[in-house]
Every structure is written in C-alpha cells, then in structure tokens.
Amino acid sequence: MEAYIFWGLKSIMKKDTTTKKVIKTITEDIAKYILDLDISEVEFIDKELQRVEKREADIVAKCNINGNLEILHIEIQNNNDSKMPLRMMRYYTDIKTLYPKLPIRQYLIYIGKDKCYIKAGIKDTDIEFRYNLIDMHTIDCEKLLQMDTPDALVLSILCDFKGRDEREIIKYILSRLRELTDNDEHKLDKYMLILDTLSGNRELQDVVKEVAKMLRDTRFEDLPIYQVVLERGIERGIEKGREEEKFKSMAIMVKRFGLPIEQVSKEFGEPIDKLREYLDKQEI
C-alpha cells in the first residue's frame, strides 16, 4: 500500500543547488535509522500542498510505510523557532484537508547545535495538539556507528558523542565510509557531500575537512582501508583463484591511492612487469 510523506525542510542546508538532492538521498535513511520506519517505493511529489509556505527544501514524497496507507509529515529544524508548534498544526490542517480519510503521523527532528527548547505541541483553552519531537542530541552516536552502514554513519554526525573526542569519531566515520563504499569514488563523494552538509548543523565542517586532509596525508598502509583492500585482493585472488580480482585490487592501490608500484607488487607477490601490463589495459 502507499502513503504520503510531507517534508517541511527549512534549513538542513544552505547550499541551494544541492539541498533537494541531498534531502531526497537521506529520506529513507532518516525514516529507517531515526524514526524506525520501513519505507520504500519513494516517489517525490513537489506541488501537493499549495497552502504550505514555500521554501526551497520543501519536498513531498509518495511511498510505502510498513505496508500501511498513511500520511507522514517530517520537519527538519536546526534552530529554536518558538512558532514551530503553530507551524506544525498548520501543516496538519492543510494535509488533513487534502487527505481527510488518512491517518497522519507528524515528526519534528531537531538537528541544531544548541539545546532544543521547542515544545512538542499546543495546549489552549479548547484545543490540544501534539506531534512527535525528536532531538538528535538525545541519540547516542554509537547506536548508528554500530549499524556500520554508510547511511547510518553520516547521520551519526548529528548525534550525541557522549564526551568522546570529536576528531576520533569523525576519523572513524571517514575511514569506514571509504571502506564501505568499496573504493567507489562516485558513491563516496555522495556520502561526503551529505556528511559535509549535516556537519554544518553541529559546526563541525572545519573538523571534517581537517580530518579528511589528515587522512589524505597519512600513508595508506597505516589506514584500515589499506589492509581491507590488500586482504580482499589476496583472498579473492588467491583463495578463490580469481586473478582478475587480485589485479584489480593492486590497480586500485597504485592508481587511486598513489602507492608505489614496486611496493604493491611486493605486497601481492606479483611480478612488477605483469602489473604494469595490467595497468596499461585498465581504467581505474
């Protein structure tokens, strides 16, 4: 069955040219890792709610949620706007007007650096209105780090580090992203863009850039990714008898990581001339 997701996304990013692309990319991730909702078959619809105030990052998506037909409204907020409860109620009435027969779930996800003071509803003389308020500060980053997926890793930048050294956390995130994307530079660039964007809400962009530079300047043989590629190449190439896999790993070491061909040839136990011949024929 199908459901509708209304994203009232005000300020998750300042980069107008990439805002919608990044938000659409992490829609399912936020639902899965933060809201514990299983959504699929996402189809974004941009002009459903005409009365909702227009903002660059407003997104409407049609999708399947846990097999039930529902409406899910999510607002991402990075500052303490005292009018948020009123805005959420207005969203509710606008959505309910369009879809009177469908149940509505509403979530406000606070991702700002400062402590969250936003109220989770309105209580007046003759009315009581409430929605779900999720403060990312209350989520231990370890929960997402342990999931060990690129999607969870980039979202962990918004969580509570529990007093742990931020550089060490970010170093782990960056190293694991490279490993988990399996040296796919296009995929890695996508997650790095998301990480860079989200880190701005914690004023950690400079730290991310600093750690990324440090990792680039570090010898690859000192990093986990080096051992991963090395062991994977040896395992696939030797144990499974697949020479192509082995030489592909060697080529990655030389062309992407910039390691000396002599060193790679020695590590993998292959003649340097044979490796040069392979490199001449491949585009890595």
For 11-28, write each residue's pLDDT tens digit: 444 443 344 556 666 777
Residue 128 scores a pLDDT above 90: yes
Helix runs in the chain, H state only: 19-33, 84-98, 141-145, 150-155, 166-180, 185-199, 205-217, 224-234, 243-255, 261-268, 272-281
Q: Are residues 133 and 54 in the same domain?
A: yes
Q: Are residues 160 and 106 in the same domain?
A: no
Q: Which among 218, 240, 261 is the end of a domain?
A: 218
Structure tokens at 118: 């936003």
Over range 178-195, report the average pLDDT: 80
Nearest to 75 by CA among 138, 151, 5: 5
Is residue 258 very low, low, confident or very high in pLDDT (cuts 50, 70, 90)? low
Residue 176 scores a pLDDT above 80: yes
Q: Exposed e or buried b for every residue in 13-52, given b needs 16+ CB within 10 A?
A: beeeeebbebbebbbbbbbbbbbebebeeeeeeeebbeeb
Over range 30-34, report the average pLDDT: 85
Torsion sign across C-alpha atoms 150, 152, 156, 162: negative
For residues 44 and 111, the answer to whether their CB atoms sit within 8 Å is no
Q: Which among 218, 248, 272 is the end of a domain?
A: 218
Q: Are residues 46 and 107 in the same domain?
A: yes
- Determine the structural domain holding residue 184 and report its residue range: 141-218
The whole-angstrom separation of Cα 196 and Cα 216 is 16
Q: Return the number of other C-beta atoms located less than 10 Å from residue 250's C-beta.
A: 27
Q: Are residues 22 and 64 in the same domain?
A: yes
Q: Are residues 7 and 132 in the same domain?
A: yes
Q: Are residues 228 and 272 in the same domain?
A: yes
Question: pLDDT digits over 65-116, tens only?
Answer: 888 888 888 888 888 999 999 989 988 888 888 888 888 888 898 988 889 9
Q: Are residues 117 and 239 in the same domain?
A: no
Largest CA distance in the chain: 83
Q: Are residues 106 and 26 in the same domain?
A: yes
Q: Exposed e or buried b for every residue in 87-117, given b needs 16+ CB within 10 A?
A: bbbebbebbeeebeeeebbbbbbbbbeeebe
Q: Are residues 7 and 134 in the same domain?
A: yes
3-state SS, 234-255, equals: HHHHHHCCCHHHHHHHHHHHHH
Q: Which among 185, 201, 218 is the end of a domain?
A: 218
Torsion sign across C-alpha atoms 199, 201, 207, 209: positive
Structure tokens at 60: 């409407």
Give the residues across from 8 on adjacent strands: 75
Helix, strand, or coil (residue 265): helix
Q: Are residues 161 and 214 in the same domain?
A: yes
Q: Are residues 101 and 15 in the same domain?
A: yes
Domain count along the chain = 3
For residue 164, CA distances in Å to 159, 168, 170 come to 12, 8, 11
Which residue's entry shows tokens 């700002």?
112
Q: What is the structure's pLDDT at 47?
A: 53
Is residue 1 very low, low, confident or very high in pLDDT (cuts 50, 70, 90)? very low
Q: Are residues 8 and 125 in the same domain?
A: yes
Is residue 123 very low, low, confident or very high in pLDDT (cuts 50, 70, 90)? very high
